[in-house]
Amino acid sequence: MSIISSVAPRSGRTTELILLLGAVGIVGLAYVNLGLATSGTLPPGLVAVGVGYLAVSLAFHVVLRWKAKYADPLILPIVTLLNGLGLVMIHRVDIARGREIADGVALRQLMWSALAVAIATAVLFALRDHRLLRRYTWIAGVAGFALLLLPLMPIIGNSEYGSRIWIRLGPLSFQPGEVAKLLLAAFFAGYLVQTRDALSLAGRRILGLTLPRARDLGPILIAWLASLSVLVFERDLGSSLLFFGLFVAMLYVATERVSWIAIGMGLFVAGAYLAYLTFGHVQTRVLLWLHTFSPEALQTSDQLAKGLMGMAAGGMIGTGIGRGRPDLTYLAESDFIVPSFGEELGMIGLFAILALYALLVERGLRTSLGTRDGFGKLLAAGLSFSMALQCFVVVGGVTRVIPLTGLTMPFMSAGGSSLLANWTLVAILLRISDHARRPVPDAQETSAVGAAHTQVVRLP
């Protein structure tokens, strides 16, 4: 017998704790920096805010130790840092706009953050295994599409800033697209893991590309029509691109078939072009995108132009937190929070923030690679890619890579629905990653054959 002693696999929780302290430290430093730059004194309630933020993140950390010991150690610190920096910037815009703390956007965002963290921990408690979600595939699908199209309903649907992506119930307004993103990712994962064989194997080869059978085109056509109606009726290119891109990407991952990407991109480009030819509001968006500084465009909206000038004012190293004028741009604390960071932290600071997002997506994709079940793989890949795509749509929109849309930057932009949805997304990712990184039980305990298939899901 060989002497092989199994080393206890590292959970990474200590790494996470250290990184988490660093993240909270950076946020605290940014807050101090802001206070010194704007009023020359330490910000009010520094200790209370700092300790509070630290306590909330440590609570999450403890929950992870307890409920998801092997979860990816980088995800929580990254999200904590992004959320905190977002809070500081929102507070910074509050100061510039002359809003007191009590009626500022930052305080609301802080409360939403706390609520989002609470919900995320609740998800970790309630969702013991991500494969449970597969049971709700169709419910999630129906709910997702319903939420996506909800803003089109009369009375509760609400247009803001040219996009009809809000619902309003009394004093509460909500952007259902963010939650729809989660539900649809779960639906796509559940649906595709069931149908992937049919979608991936059947078909004919034409020009080196294996094309699917006509009857298998149904789902992608439905997704296409849904995303087109979002584009046309909700006037929201960002959500449209996000959902369709998410679907096509997950379809590709499930089937490993490049033809789906070709079909998907073809459909999207054709649909978008058709919409451009037909609808005036799409043409306006394109005008603002391609000719931002033309007199006609500036007459319609100088929002994008102002954001760009803000970023240019920041230059390479930025003005420093509290020393720029991000408040000169509309929506500087929500849709345009990225230009706000670009102005005050500069190109270098924005690079760092983008790198954080890229790292977060990378951890998600790595989770997908490490997961042993197909549903988990698809779900992790879908959730991660949706985050990447959302970053691309938002940052690409304000930096003129694509037309500007009404999406929010995950974790940073002011907005409760976005925070709730994205923290929940993180909780699910953490749950999957815990599953992915958890060491496989020893061979003695389970039969070596098909361990993955016989693993028992223990229900509470």
> Which residue in the set 12, 104, 176, 346 belongs to the binding site for other proteins (CB under 8 A)?
346
**What's the distance, CA 17 to chain centroid?**
23
Backbone angles phi, psi at 145, to 5 degrees: -65, -35
> Which residue in the set 362, 438, 446, 455 belongs to the binding site for other proteins (CB under 8 A)?
362
Cβ contact 187:137 at 8 Å = yes
Non-local (6+) Cβ contacts of 325 within 8 A are 96, 310, 313, 343
351 touches other proteins (CB under 8 A): yes
Q: H or E stretch including 428?
A: helix 416-437
354 touches other proteins (CB under 8 A): yes
Please identify, using beta-carbon distances, which residue of 176 and 342 lies nearer to other proteins: 342
Please give the Cα distance from 433 to 65 (Å, whole number): 13
Please give the Cα distance from 383 to 423 (Å, whole number): 12
For other proteins, which stretch binds (CB under 8 A), given 101-109, 166-174, 215-223, 381-389?
A: 381-389
The sign of the dihedral angle between the CA atoms of 195, 200, 202, 206 is positive
Please identify, using beta-carbon distances, which residue of 230 and 251 lies nearer to other proteins: 251
Contact pattern for other proteins over residues 273 through 312, marking x by CB under 8 A: --------------------x----x---x--x--xxxxx
* DSSP for residue 3: -
316 touches other proteins (CB under 8 A): yes
Kindly state the smallest distance separating residue 239's Cβ from other proteins, in Å: 17
- Coil, strand, or helix at residue 446? coil
Kindly state the smallest distance separating residue 315's Cβ from other proteins, in Å: 5
237 touches other proteins (CB under 8 A): no
**What's the distance, CA 1 to chain centroid?**
50
401 touches other proteins (CB under 8 A): yes
Any idea how long the chain is?
460
Kindly state the smallest distance separating residue 253's Cβ from other proteins, in Å: 4
Please identify, using beta-carbon distances, which residue of 225 and 348 lies nearer to other proteins: 348
Please give the Cα distance from 241 to 396 (Å, whole number): 12
Contact pattern for other proteins over residues 239 through 268, marking x by CB under 8 A: ----------x--xxx-x------------
Nearest one of 190, 184, 276 to 226, comparing CA atoms: 184
For other proteins, which stretch binds (CB under 8 A), given 1-9, 83-91, 114-122, 394-402?
A: 394-402
325 touches other proteins (CB under 8 A): yes
Non-local (6+) Cβ contacts of 370 within 8 A are 433, 436, 437
Cβ contact 228:275 at 8 Å = yes
Kindly state the smallest distance separating residue 455's Cβ from other proteins, in Å: 18
Please give the Cα distance from 126 to 409 (Å, whole number): 27
For other proteins, which stretch binds (CB under 8 A), given 101-109, 202-210, 229-237, 360-368?
A: 360-368
Instruction: List interacting residues with other proteins (CB under 8 A).
Output: 249, 252-254, 256, 293, 298, 302, 305, 308-317, 320, 324-325, 328, 342, 346-347, 350-351, 354, 357-358, 361-362, 365, 368-369, 374, 377-378, 381, 384-385, 388-389, 391-392, 395-396, 399-401
